[in-house]
């Protein structure tokens, strides 16, 4: 009878626990990240009697969390990519609206400027058509300034987002660390796994993966370690949290927020290593879309300014004077690294300008020309112009890092973030060097080995772009005088002199630059794009980035949904299944209670017999 009573008592306890677990599942059907639980009912150890082994009822061995680590890891990875591409798409669509539209955009204003030049070529003495050139130049300047201001706002938005996302990451790490400690304590003092805590931790990690890419490593004591950057950088390891920090880059005047981490006691920039989550999306957008769009646009503008100015230098205005600057030429000063030797120069004398090679040593003439600085012959002047066009074709949409080499007393030039040497220039103002069509010149100042400076010539022109001629009479519409003084059939050996009043040769040449391929020369020095084509190329890159982000977001969202469905099919709560379990366990509980009741009835009968 006592065995019967024990079996009934054990059974009621087991099925009560099963009912509790089932009720807990039903109660958490809407809890995000909850994994259904199951009471594992097992037979008790049988007793040995004279007639053999006799069963001794059942017990709940444990409450199992129905979950698969491999699915959870896939979910974290997929969620990280979904959030990355969603962030890329949102930001890139802003820039697409600013840059890629041709409706009243930069390309439209550039086209209007070329059209106004053609109007002057058709009627070079008309005051109104000449004024129209200046008006369209000013309109283009306003459009560039507006676009630059908006792109600057996007840059500030990116800085703010990086700061905010770092705070979110650190908050999630604190939450996971706290749950980690609770899980470890629960496993140390308890006999049952802390299922609800494990669910909370998994959910916190999933949320963290939306902000940054993560890899999770299970530890023997029940804790987990979390790394980022494809497992290279620890965020949570051995119970220690390594927080993300944000600050401006070592090139402070760049106004660019980077992500830092203290590794081995050294504060290191890790922005380039972060590839997933919203943080990865923001950083990828900045590096591969925003910066690239600004550099591509700047290259087009640098090509436009240089070609317009140098063609303008070739001509003469109404007064017969040589053409002056039509647009403000590029003058790009460098940004010093805060880690440079404190005793070194500031780098304020280091410059990057557009100053193509002169035709020959001892060449007379440096534009804008005066009567005293005009080249000796018109042929020299034309050769200098062709050198300028060649240099324009050599321009590349790059940012440059200049590193001082004390051994050679020169600066080595690299593309920012790359290790391939592009060229070097001596720390001597008299010996500049041409790199990618631009003149790099030092000031001969005092610098320490490995001092670094950054220059962004194609972003600088966005801020510097300006029309500088206010008087339409100063437009150099006239070309070289057609007089062949020595009757040799060539003007190349003639002294530079203006054509007749009303001559339109130079303004026609300026208008023809619309269709001349000037940009992005190949290895043979042959340019591949016109000025308008350069803008179209930039717009196409922006559009391709947006389309690529859309495609990736759609694909990764589908993958995420499939994995989530897989998780729900395994770990999700089914109300139909739980309702059936409630009925089954309730009936089992009632039957177990009946065992106890039967035991009590038999016991009372025996007592009655004994009492007689």
Q: Please give the share of the chain, as a percent, with pLDDT higher than 70.
A: 97
pLDDT tens profile 352-409: 999 999 998 778 888 999 988 999 999 999 999 999 999 999 999 999 999 999 999 9
pLDDT digits (tens, 9 = 90+) for 378-389: 999 999 999 999
Task: Give the list of residues 6+ apart from residue 184 with CB closer than 8 angstroms, or none.
Answer: 221, 222, 223
- pTM across the whole model: 0.90
**Per-residue pLDDT tens digits for 9-63:** 888 888 899 899 999 999 999 999 999 999 988 888 777 665 666 777 888 889 9
Residue 272 is classified by DSSP as G
Q: 522 falls in which pLDDT band (50, 70, 90)?
A: very high
Percent of the chain with pLDDT over 90: 78
Write out the DSSP string of 489-517.
S-STTSPP-B--TT--HHHHHHHHTTTS-
pLDDT in the model for residue 10 = 85
Residue 138 has a pLDDT of: 95
Query: What gap in Å lies between CA 509 and CA 515, rounded to an integer?
Result: 11
Q: How far apart are CA 431 and CA 532, in angstroms?
A: 34
Q: Is pLDDT at 102 greater than 50 in this prediction?
A: no
Query: 523-578, pLDDT tens digit by residue?
Result: 999 999 999 999 888 888 999 999 999 999 999 999 999 999 999 999 999 999 99
pLDDT category at 74 given cuts 50, 70, 90 is very high
Burial class (CB in 10 A: 0-12, 13-18, 19+), 601: exposed
């Amino acid at each position: 009878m006592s065995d019967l009573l024990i079996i009934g008592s054990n059974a009621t306890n087991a099925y009560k626990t099963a009912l509790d677990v089932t009720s807990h599942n039903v109660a958490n059907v809407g809890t995000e990240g909850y994994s259904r639980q199951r009471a594992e009912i097992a037979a008790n150890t049988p007793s040995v009697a004279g007639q053999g082994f006799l069963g001794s009822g059942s017990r709940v061995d444990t409450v199992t969390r129905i979950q698969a680590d491999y699915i959870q890891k896939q979910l974290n990875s997929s969620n990280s990519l979904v959030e990355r591409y969603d962030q890329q798409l949102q930001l890139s669509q802003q820039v697409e609206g600013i840059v890629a539209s041709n409706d009243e955009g930069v390309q439209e204003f550039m086209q209007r400027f070329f059209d106004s030049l053609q109007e002057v070529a058709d009627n070079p003495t008309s005051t109104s058509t000449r004024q129209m050139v200046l008006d369209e130049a000013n309109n283009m300047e306003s459009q560039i300034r507006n676009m630059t201001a908006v792109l600057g706002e996007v840059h500030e938005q990116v800085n703010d987002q990086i700061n905010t996302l770092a705070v979110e990451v650190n908050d999630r790490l604190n939450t996971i660390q706290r749950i980690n400690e609770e899980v470890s304590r629960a496993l140390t003092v308890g006999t049952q796994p802390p299922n609800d805590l494990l669910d909370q931790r998994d959910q916190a990690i999933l949320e963290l993966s939306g902000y940054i890419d993560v890899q999770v490593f299970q530890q023997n004591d029940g804790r987990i370690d979390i790394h980022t950057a494809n497992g290279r950088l620890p965020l949570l390891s051995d119970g220690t949290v390594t927080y993300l920090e944000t600050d401006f880059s070592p090139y402070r005047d760049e106004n660019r927020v980077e992500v830092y981490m203290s590794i081995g006691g050294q504060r290191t920039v890790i922005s380039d290593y972060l590839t997933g989550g919203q943080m990865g999306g923001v950083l990828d957008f900045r590096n591969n879309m925003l910066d690239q769009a600004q550099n591509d646009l700047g290259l087009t503008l640098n090509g436009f300014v240089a070609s317009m100015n140098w063609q303008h230098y070739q001509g003469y205005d109404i007064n017969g004077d040589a053409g002056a600057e039509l647009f403000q030429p590029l003058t790009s000063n460098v940004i010093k690294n805060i880690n440079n030797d404190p005793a070194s120069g500031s780098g304020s004398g280091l410059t990057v300008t557009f100053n193509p090679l002169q035709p020959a040593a001892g060449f007379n003439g440096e534009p804008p020309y005066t009567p005293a600085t005009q080249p000796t012959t018109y042929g020299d002047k034309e050769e200098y112009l062709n050198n300028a066009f060649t240099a324009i074709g050599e321009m590349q949409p790059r940012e440059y890092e200049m590193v001082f080499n004390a051994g050679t007393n020169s600066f080595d030039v690299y593309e920012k973030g790359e290790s391939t040497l592009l060229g070097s220039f001596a720390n001597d103002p008299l010996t500049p060097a041409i790199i990618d069509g631009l003149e790099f010149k030092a000031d001969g100042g005092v610098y320490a080995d490995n001092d670094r400076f950054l220059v962004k010539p194609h972003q600088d022109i966005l801020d510097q772009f300006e029309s500088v001629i206010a008087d339409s009479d100063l437009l150099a519409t006239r070309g070289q005088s057609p007089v062949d003084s020595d009757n040799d059939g060539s003007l190349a050996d003639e002294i530079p002199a203006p054509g007749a009043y009303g001559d339109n040769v130079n303004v026609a040449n300026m208008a023809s630059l619309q269709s001349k391929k000037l940009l992005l020369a190949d290895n043979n020095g042959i340019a591949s794009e016109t000025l308008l084509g350069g803008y179209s190329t930039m717009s196409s890159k922006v559009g391709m980035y947006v389309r690529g982000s859309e495609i990736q977001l759609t694909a990764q969202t589908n993958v995420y949904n499939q994995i989530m469905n897989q998780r729900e099919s395994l770990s999700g709560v089914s109300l139909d299944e739980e309702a059936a379990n409630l009925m089954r366990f309730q009936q089992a509980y009632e039957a177990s209670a009946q065992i106890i009741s039967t035991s009590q009835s038999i016991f009372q009968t025996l007592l009655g017999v004994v009492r007689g």
